[in-house]
Amino acid sequence: MGAFQRLGLQEGVKGVKRVALHWRRILNIAIARGSGASMMLSSMSAEQRVAALLLDRSDRWQARGYSISAFALTVTRGEIGTHLGLKTETVNRVLQGMHKRGIIEVYASEIHILDLPSLILL
């Protein structure tokens, strides 16, 4: 019985090592994407950064089979600002500007894209 337990333990350790290697690879890819994204963001205006975030969220929702034009932002404006390298006030101002131009509607944390082509062109 001891041999079986050791065998099971060894297999478990091998499985943990495989999982750890898998997560390490995923993290390396995320870091590489993140550094590329931060370099790209540095050359974009605040409006372009927010538009890129909204378009990315729209694409992600569409990939899951949901609407591309209506989705919830599950993060605060402050968190959006931190992610994009902007102040909360700037995020608010950009969203209000997009709203005034008829590009989006904002209901609390829900976003409705009214003019997708205009959002893309930002």
107 against 22, higher pLDDT: 107
Please check the confidence at residue 112 and state whether its pLDDT lies above 60: yes
pTM over 0.85: no
DSSP state of 69: S
Q: Starting from the edge strand earliest in sequence, which strands make up the sheet with 70-72, in order?
A: 70-72, 110-113, 104-107
The predicted-structure confidence for 26-75, as pLDDT tens digits, reads as follows 555 555 455 445 545 667 899 999 998 899 888 888 888 888 899 988 88
Helix, strand, coil percent values for the chain (each to nearest 5): 70, 10, 20
Q: What are phi and psi of 27, to 5 degrees?
A: -65, -40
Mean pLDDT, rounded, for 72-91: 89
Percent of the chain with pLDDT over 70: 66
